[in-house]
Amino acid sequence: MTSGLCMAYDKMSVSTAGANQCTVTNDGATGVATVVTSTGGDPFFYSSKLESTLDEDANTLMFEYQASANITDFKAYFVDYAAEVRSVSFGNLAATNTWKKASVDISNLRKTCGWGFEGDYIRLDPGTASGLTFKIRNLCINKGEYGPAEYLTVDNIGAKDLSISRDANFEPTETELLSGVDLSYNSWYMNTIGSDPYFRTNPLTKNLTDDATKLTFEYTSTVDVEPLELFFLHPESVTRSKKFSGVMPSSSDWKKVVVDFADIRKAYGWGYAGDLLRIDIGNSVSQKICIRNLLVYNGDEGASEVEELKPVDTFSVYGTAGGIMIKSTSKQPFSIFNLYGVRLRRIEVEGSRFVPLTSGMYIVNGKKVIVR
């Protein structure tokens, strides 16, 4: 991530360095860390460092776990020094051999201790017992918001064997332009230039509810896309992928695809803010394909009417020297795109906020803005 940008989430990992009275191993294929405590009565281990500074309202710390025994007073210390005043407790965690979610509010700690800047990290203390086997995955900090659906955009960064551009024929409706959405209903034109074409989506901006287990989109293609393969990041591994055959025959007319990945979500817990997809579109060279309306949802067609589609309150946005000024009468989302359709920022604004940007033209919630 780019230094200096504030983010509404951070997907963290478990570090194998610095562990005390326990051993830590990471499975690079599944994203699961296994902690085994030894004797001594004070086991702890560390998270990775924040990749960027957190937004002020990113106040929920969460993870999924399995434990071979009950854990008394599982704590998180917000370092670089560990003190009780810089800790929060998850309470007691029950023994379980299935994945369970644990979360805690850290808003007060962030205010009093000023934690949440790029490079900050966490110490995790799994009780005091020896001989405990503790598995942890999907360690993250976000707003704690959940939704049954989220539109995704195509991200040019990380694409392979593809040239990607926004479809010139895409014409968003006035409602879409004024709604405050990310213009994620956009249509993307792709031309494969190698035999292993894939692209990545933007990260999820909120956590998905457990029933959001389907991906749908519309497409046109000059050849059969065979197979369609989804990778559920991170980590990026074949273990966390799923192939679909026969779902994208060639078509000059727009066709709708719906695929189910409930088994992947159950197996790996994918679906938290910051998670993203890699989408592999066959292996044909010089294939031309358009994709639009890329949506993760719960199977309910009405779920696509996500909350951002409501009419927005009055706001103004204008460019100035060195950035963009956004003014809003109430808290609402704003997305900033460059002219290539790449989303650069997604923020929520109430009142006034200046966003530093280099000179150029940008699109903010459907409005073109020039930065000098």
Q: What is the structure's pLDDT at 170? A: 53
- Quote the tokens at residue 12: 């963290």
Q: Do domains 6-142 and 146-309 have the same CATH topology?
A: yes
Among all chains, which residue has been given the structure tokens 């994208």? 248
The reply to whether CATH 2.60.120.430 applies to domain 6-142 is yes
Would you kindly state where each structural domain of the chain is located, as residue ranges?
Answer: 6-142, 146-309, 315-371
Backbone angles phi and psi of 238, in degrees to 5 = -60, -30
Q: What is the structure's pLDDT at 42? A: 93
CATH code, 146-309: 2.60.120.260
Q: Which residues pair with 52 in a beta bridge?
A: none
Q: Which residues pair with 368 in a beta bridge?
A: 363
The runs of H, that is alpha helices, within the chain are 107-113, 174-178, 262-268
3-class DSSP state of 176: helix
Collect all residues with Cβ–Cβ distance below 8 Å to 214 and sequence separation of at least 6: 258, 259, 260, 261, 296, 297, 298, 299
Which parts of the chain register pLDDT below 50? 1-4, 176-185, 303-313
Between CA 73 and CA 336, with CA 272 as vertex, the angle to 5 degrees is 130
Q: What is the structure's pLDDT at 40? A: 86
Q: Chain centroid to CA 232: how far?
A: 11
Q: Chain centroid to CA 342: how far?
A: 16
Q: What is the structure's pLDDT at 307? A: 32
Cα–Cα distance measured from residue 305 to residue 350, given in angstroms and rounded to the nearest whole number? 23
